[in-house]
Amino acid sequence: MNPFQMVFVPLCSGLALLLLVRGVRYRMGLRQTLCLAAPWALAAFTIAFPSTVSVVAGWLGIGRGADLVFYAGVLGCLASSLYFYQRFRRLESLCTELIRREAIRQAIRGMDRPPDSGMLGLTPDAVPGNEIRGVATYEPCR
């Protein structure tokens, strides 16, 4: 075992174990826990046994083990980008739906009542002159 392996195999293994323990402790889902810990465990395995990666690359028809690691990294980055983009779109649609519901709720209340100032305590007439400029001011919640 060379010095690089002596340093990084325990480091990657320790990170994988730490992520597994935290996943169990904080009751994250099995899939999320494994997605966090598996890359570190796989990194520890490939650092400890580099010839195994070359053999697997040969089975898959890829020339070198380094190329297999590179291709797997690129595919992993693409998959995570797709995953986070999907989550962003879902969050964006949830925000749109929430804003739409709130606007409809306020419209149903009617125009005869002043709008609710909300949690921030925004009032247009809190500071003299603001009613002319139409600027709302911030007052802390109490």
pLDDT tens-place string over residues 88-126: 999 999 999 999 999 888 888 865 555 555 555 555 555
Task: Give domain limits for the chain.
Answer: 1-48
Q: Residue 116 in contact with residue 103, Cβ under 8 Å?
A: no
Average pLDDT over residues 138-142: 54
pTM for the predicted model, two decimal places:
0.63
- pLDDT reported for residue 44: 96
Q: Could you tell me how many helices (H) and strands (E) the chain has, helices first?
A: 5, 0
- pLDDT reported for residue 131: 47
CA dist list (Å): 15 to 4, 31, 120, 135: 16, 17, 42, 52
Closest CA to 56 of 47, 69, 43, 44: 69
What does the alpha-carbon distance between residue 130 and residue 36 come to, in Å, rounded to a whole number? 52
Reply yes or no on whether the pLDDT at 127 is more than 50. Answer: no
Q: Which tokens sit at 112?
A: 């005869």
pLDDT tens-place string over residues 22-76: 999 998 899 999 989 999 999 999 999 999 999 999 999 998 999 999 999 999 9
What does the alpha-carbon distance between residue 80 and residue 73 come to, in Å, rounded to a whole number? 10
Which helix (DSSP H) or strand (DSSP E) does residue 75 occupy? Answer: helix 65-109
